[in-house]
Amino acid sequence: MAVTLNDTLDVKRGDIKHYDFGMPFWDATRQKKLVIQYCKVAKKFQHFPRPVSIFTGRRRDIEWREVSGKGKVYSFTIAHRGPPAFQGKEPYAIASVTLDEGVNVIADVVNCTAEDLKVGMRVKAYWHPLDNGEHLLMWQPDKDAK
């Protein structure tokens, strides 16, 4: 039985309140760029943004780096019951994606059917405009990926 997934693009998400230490991420989304925190000592990325490196505990070890926005699905769930703003939009898919740079990022999946959505599937960034000029990162199938 085919299950049509909702893209949730018409969900009213309102103002997403940010922490100041995560602002470089949100500012970059205005240009549809994905930047992720990188620890120069551990040579690893971390997400969500933190006030310190989770590898060393130090602020000074962190820098922001632009990444490809490509990766593969580590896991996913299909919400059949959403929180209030999402009620009536179910079912929709949420995926935890391992970026090629080696860090997991959770976001909604668009342009994808339930049949196609698989663990290991290649995805790329999809940028959904928000009212304040920022974009919300989402995932879509990367049809060009081998």
Partner 1 sequence: MSLRDSAIVAYAETKVMKKSDRDVWVLMGEILEQLLDKSGFESKEIDGLVMSGLTGTGGASMFWAQSTCDMLGLEVGFCEQVHTGGCSAVGAVARAAAAIDAGMCEVAVCMFADTHVREHNGRNDRNYRRDWTDPYGVLGPPGAFGLLQRAYDAKYGVDLKALGKLAITQRNHAIMNENACEELRVPITMDDYINSRMIADPIRLLDCVMLADGAAGLIVTSKKRAKEKGLNKCVIPIGYAERTNFLGGDNLVDVTRSGHEIAGKKALAAAGWNIKDVRSFHPYDDFLIALVIQFEAFGFCKPGEGMKFVRDTDLSYNGTLPMNTGGGQISAGQAACSSHNLIEAVRQLMGEAGKRQVKDTTNALVTGIGWINYGRNWGSSAAMALVPNQ
The string of DSSP letters for 69-120 reads -EEEEEEEEEESS--GGGTTS-SEEEEEEEETTS-EEEEEE-S--TTT--TT
Instruction: Single out the residue of 43, 36, 97 nearest to residue 67, CA to CA.
Output: 36
Q: Pull the structure tokens for residue 43.
A: 């040579």
Nearer to partner 1 by Cβ, of 119 and 145: the residue is 119
- How many residues of this chain bind partner 1 (CB under 8 A)? 43
Nearer to partner 1 by Cβ, of 45 and 64: the residue is 45
Residue 22 in contact with partner 1, rule: CB under 8 A:
yes
| Helix, strand, coil tally for the chain in percent (to 5) | 10, 35, 55
Q: Which of residues 35-64 bind partner 1 (CB under 8 A)?
A: 44-48, 54-55
Cβ contact 61:29 at 8 Å: no
CB of 1 to partner 1, least distance (A): 12
Kindly indicate which of the ranges 27-35, 59-67, 101-109 contains the residues binding partner 1, using the contact rule CB under 8 A. 101-109
Between 120 and 139, how does the x/- string for binding to partner 1 read (CB under 8 A)?
x---------------x---
Distance CA 82, CA 75 (A): 18
Residues lying near partner 1 in the complex (CB under 8 A): 8, 11, 13, 16-19, 22, 44-48, 54-55, 74-83, 85-86, 89, 91-92, 94, 96, 98, 102-108, 119-120, 136
